[in-house]
A and B are shown apart, each in its own frame.
Chain A
Amino acid sequence: MRRSTILDVSTRMVTVTTLVLSIYLLAAGHNQPGGGFIGGLVGGAAIALAYVGGGLERVRAFTRLQPWTILGAGLVVASLSAIVPLVMGRAVLEQGFVSLDLPVLGKVKATSALVFDTGVYALVLGMVLMAFEALGEERTPGSSTGSTPGRGEAS
Chain B
Amino acid sequence: MNALVAAPIVLPIAGAALSIVIGRSRAAQRLLGVAVLVAVAGCAIALLIEVDSNGPAVVQAGDWPAPIGITLMVDRLAAIMLVLGSLMLLGVLVYAIGQGRVDGEEHRHVGFHPVYLVLSAGVAGAFLTGDLFNLFVSFEVMLTASYVLLTLGGRRSQVRAGMTYVVISLVASALFLTTIGFVYASTGTVNLAQLSTAMSELPDGLRHALALLLLGVFGIKAAVFPLFFWLPDSYPTAPTAVTAVFAGLLTKVGVYAIIRTQTLLVDPADRPAGLLLTIAGLTMAVGVLGAIAQSDMKRILSFHIVSQIGYMIFGLALFTVAGLAGAILYIVHHIVVKTTLFLIGGLVEHRAGSSDLDRVGGLLRTAPVLAITFLFTALSLAGIPPLSGFAAKFALVDAGIASSAWIVVGVSIVVSVLTLFSMTKIWAGVFGGEIDRDRDEPRPMPALMLGPTIALAGTAIAIALAAGPLYDLSERTAEDLLDADRYRLEVLGS
| A residues whose Cβ falls under 8 Å from a Cβ of B | 68-69, 71-76, 78-80, 82-83, 86, 89-95
Asked if B27 lies at the interface with its beta carbon under 8 angstroms from chain A, I say no
Q: C-beta contact mask, B5-43 vs A, less than 8 Å → 1, else 0? A: 011001001101111110100000000000000000000
- Give Cα distance in the complex from A76 to B59, angstroms: 23
Q: Which of B206-233 contact A (CB under 8 A)?
A: none
Q: Given the complex, which residues of A lie within 8 Å of B23, measured CB to CB? A: 68-69, 72
- Set A72, A74, A82, A92: member contacting B2, Cβ < 8 A: A92
Chain A residue with Cβ nearest B3? A86
Q: Given the complex, which residues of B lie within 8 Å of A90, measured CB to CB? A: 2, 63
A91 touches B59 (CB 8 A): yes
- Give Cα distance in the complex from A83 to B110, angstroms: 25
- Set A71, A73, A92, A94: member contacting B10, Cβ < 8 A: A92
Given A90-B63, A92-B62, are A68 and B20 neighbors across the interface (CB < 8 Å)?
yes
A79 touches B17 (CB 8 A): yes
Asked if B295 lies at the interface with its beta carbon under 8 angstroms from chain A, I say no
Q: Given the complex, which residues of A lie within 8 Å of B14, measured CB to CB? A: 76, 79-80, 82-83
- Give Cα distance in the complex from A71 to B18, angstroms: 11
Interface size class of B (residues with CB under 8 A): 20 to 34
- Give Cα distance in the complex from A94 to B114, angstroms: 25
Asked if B61 lies at the interface with its beta carbon under 8 angstroms from chain A, I say yes
Asked if B60 lies at the interface with its beta carbon under 8 angstroms from chain A, I say yes
- Give Cα distance in the complex from A78 to B17, angstroms: 9
- Give Cα distance in the complex from A109 to B10, angstroms: 27
Q: Which of B362-384 contact A (CB under 8 A)?
A: none
Q: Given the complex, which residues of B lie within 8 Å of A91, measured CB to CB? A: 2, 59-63
Given A68-B20, A79-B17, A86-B3, are A95 and B10 neighbors across the interface (CB < 8 Å)?
no
Q: What would be 6 A-B contacts, judged by CB atoms less than 8 Å apart?
A: A72-B18, A75-B16, A75-B17, A76-B21, A83-B14, A86-B6
B20 touches A75 (CB 8 A): yes
Q: Given the complex, which residues of B lie within 8 Å of A72, measured CB to CB? A: 17-21, 23, 114
Chain B residue with Cβ nearest A66? B23
Given A91-B61, A92-B61, A93-B61, are A75 and B2 neighbors across the interface (CB < 8 Å)?
no
Given A86-B6, A91-B2, are A75 and B63 neighbors across the interface (CB < 8 Å)?
no
B62 touches A94 (CB 8 A): yes
Closest A-B pairs by Cβ, 6 of them: A72-B20, A75-B17, A92-B6, A79-B14, A91-B63, A76-B17
Q: Given the complex, which residues of B lie within 8 Å of A78, measured CB to CB? A: 17
- Give Cα distance in the complex from A45 to B23, angstroms: 27
B63 touches A79 (CB 8 A): no
Chain B residue with Cβ nearest A89? B2
Q: Given the complex, which residues of A lie within 8 Å of B19, measured CB to CB? A: 72
Q: Given the complex, which residues of B lie within 8 Å of A83, measured CB to CB? A: 10, 14
Q: Given the complex, which residues of B lie within 8 Å of A80, measured CB to CB? A: 14
Chain A residue with Cβ nearest B114? A72
Chain B residue with Cβ nearest A86? B3
A79 touches B21 (CB 8 A): no
Chain A residue with Cβ nearest B60? A91
Q: Given the complex, which residues of A lie within 8 Å of B2, measured CB to CB? A: 86, 89-92
